């Protein structure tokens, strides 16, 4: 391959020049733009004509555009298309398509297989194109699943294509984007693995490291998310147990955090998104396949998945002990703050729990499209115009939720009660505005 210097100056070089990115979502699009900005010749492919049309008009098709992406115009070094033939002469092709789970929680690899097949059917043989999977999968997928497609199409590893794995680690809705997260690269060919690490290093301020064979990088990503799910589950279990001995979980976490290696996580009404609640099931299926049931990850999932229902029961008990008004305003519906993404949102189960408890549920989320909100609930455009309420529930800690005019809202409700499902509100301030404050992990006797 021609050795080539990035046009943005500096001594950095890359073995590769033309990069294809398959899947222009919240990972693929920022990644494509990052390589484009470093002077690479980029071809972005997406099967959605809407996505391509938006991009050709210079518009971001992403729900969350917190990275304020500036979409390049079509040029010699930036093209987007739904035609896989466009990647036929790429040096490196990155696959950044979703890996959801099936209803039985087994990994759904249909997008990965479809994208791989479409790429492999269009690459020129003999150019040893590097095909890098970035989607979150379990160890073995790149080698076995992508390798199977390669064999079916008749391509030869090392002559026509070389497989590699580099997990995406962006954290949507936060400042952790492609430009400032570390990367790990797994590839059987160490030389190519190091050249990929060099290529990725041009796009991030953090380290970019070759870590060994593909399974090493696949397992790294998986256990990163598995650990996060387990850590959050501990915080959630503490939010169940500690209040029952009269102790506020947040005070205990404040105290524990003074220890140098205590890693704090926040209890809440549940764990959502397309990674943390999903990836542990990839690990569970591996553990089962090798004959060792993973009690730890299964228990963590059980704890996190019970939180929405548990919160709905707590809210019902609070309301029945106070005004008895069975109307609740739920603030926030997306799975995490500053995003309009509702995938696996725990607020869905919270709403269902309240409805099953006989409540009328109103929802206000300024970031979520009203079409994405549950039809069983009453969608609210103005949180100050909801009529009488038995409680207001903070479910997703959007800035717009936290910064509501709580004094004004409290005056509209006869007996203003808040249930802080993320423990993010200033209790003293709310109580000074006439609110009764309840929250996840707070002993009820401390609330009156």
Residues that bind ligand SAJ (CB under 6 A): 168-172, 224-225, 228, 232, 265-266, 268, 271-273, 275-276, 335-336
Candidates 90, 166, 187, 275; catalytic one: 275
Give the whole-angstrom CA distance, residue 297 versus residue 303.
Answer: 10
Cβ neighbors of 185 (< 8 A, separation 6 or more) are 132, 164, 165, 166, 193, 196, 197, 200, 208, 209, 210, 211, 217
Cβ of 276: how many Cβ atoms within 10 Å?
Answer: 20
CB closer to ligand SAJ out of 91 and 341: 341
Minimal distance, residue 74 CB to ligand SAJ, in Å? 28
Nearest to 269 by CA among 353, 362, 175: 353
Minimal distance, residue 109 CB to ligand SAJ, in Å? 17
Minimal distance, residue 443 CB to ligand SAJ, in Å? 20
**3-state SS class at 42:** strand
Minimal distance, residue 274 CB to ligand SAJ, in Å? 7
CB–CB of 136/98 below 8 Å? Answer: no
CB closer to ligand SAJ out of 197 and 253: 253
CB closer to ligand SAJ out of 269 and 319: 269
CB–CB of 33/55 below 8 Å? Answer: no
- CB-based closest residue to ligand SAJ: 273
Across the beta sheet with 18-22, what order do the strands follow?
Answer: 78-81, 41-45, 18-22, 92-95, 129-133, 161-165, 183-187, 208-212
Q: Is the dihedral of CA 416, 318, 377, 343 positive or negative?
A: positive
CB closer to ligand SAJ out of 23 and 273: 273
Nearest to 397 by CA among 417, 423, 377: 423
Is 90 an active-site residue? no
CB closer to ligand SAJ out of 147 and 268: 268
β pairing state of 4-5 and 129-133: unpaired
CB closer to ligand SAJ out of 150 and 169: 169
Query: Rg of the chain's alpha carbons, rounded to an integer?
Result: 24
Q: Active-site residues: which are they?
A: 275
């Amino acid at each position: 391959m021609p050795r080539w210097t990035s046009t943005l100056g500096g001594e950095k070089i890359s073995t590769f020049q033309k990069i294809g990115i398959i899947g222009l979502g919240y990972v693929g699009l920022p990644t494509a733009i990052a390589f484009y900005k470093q002077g690479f010749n980029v071809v972005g492919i997406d099967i959605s004509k809407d996505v391509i049309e938006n991009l050709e008009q210079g518009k971001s098709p992403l729900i969350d555009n917190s990275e304020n992406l500036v979409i390049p115009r079509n040029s010699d070094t930036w093209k987007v298309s739904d035609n896989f033939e466009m990647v036929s002469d790429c040096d490196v092709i990155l696959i950044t398509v979703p890996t959801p789970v099936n209803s039985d929680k087994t990994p759904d690899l249909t997008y990965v297989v479809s994208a791989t097949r479409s790429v492999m059917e269009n690459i020129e043989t003999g150019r040893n194109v590097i095909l890098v999977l970035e989607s979150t999968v379990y160890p073995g997928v790149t080698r076995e699943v992508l390798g199977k497609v390669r064999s079916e199409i008749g391509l030869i590893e090392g002559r026509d294509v070389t497989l590699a794995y580099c997990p995406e680690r962006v954290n949507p809705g936060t400042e952790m984007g492609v430009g400032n997260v570390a990367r790990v690269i797994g590839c059987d060919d160490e030389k190519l693995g190091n050249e990929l690490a060099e290529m990725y290093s041009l796009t991030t301020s953090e380290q970019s490291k070759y870590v060994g064979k593909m399974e090493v990088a696949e397992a790294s990503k998986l256990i990163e998310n598995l650990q996060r799910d387990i850590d959050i589950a501990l915080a959630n279990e503490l939010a169940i147990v500690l209040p029952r001995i009269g102790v506020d979980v947040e005070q205990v976490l404040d105290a524990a955090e003074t220890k140098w290696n205590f890693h704090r996580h926040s209890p809440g009404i549940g764990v959502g998104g397309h990674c943390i609640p999903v990836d542990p099931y990839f690990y569970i299926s591996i553990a089962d396949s090798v004959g060792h049931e993973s009690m730890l990850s299964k228990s963590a999932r059980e704890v996190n998945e019970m939180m929405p229902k548990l919160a709905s029961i707590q809210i019902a008990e609070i309301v029945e002990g106070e005004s008895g008004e069975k109307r609740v305003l739920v603030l926030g519906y997306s799975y995490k703050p500053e995003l309009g993404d509702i995938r696996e949102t725990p607020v869905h189960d919270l709403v269902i729990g309240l409805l099953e408890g006989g409540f009328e549920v109103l929802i206000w989320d300024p970031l979520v499209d009203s079409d994405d909100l549950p039809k069983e609930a009453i969608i609210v455009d103005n949180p100050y115009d909801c009529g009488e309420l038995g409680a207001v529930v903070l479910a997703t800690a959007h800035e717009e939720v936290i910064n509501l005019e709580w004094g004004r809202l409290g005056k509209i409700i006869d007996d203003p009660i808040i249930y802080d499902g993320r423990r993010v509100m200033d209790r003293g301030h709310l109580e000074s505005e006439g609110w009764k404050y309840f929250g996840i992990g707070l002993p009820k006797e401390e609330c009156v």
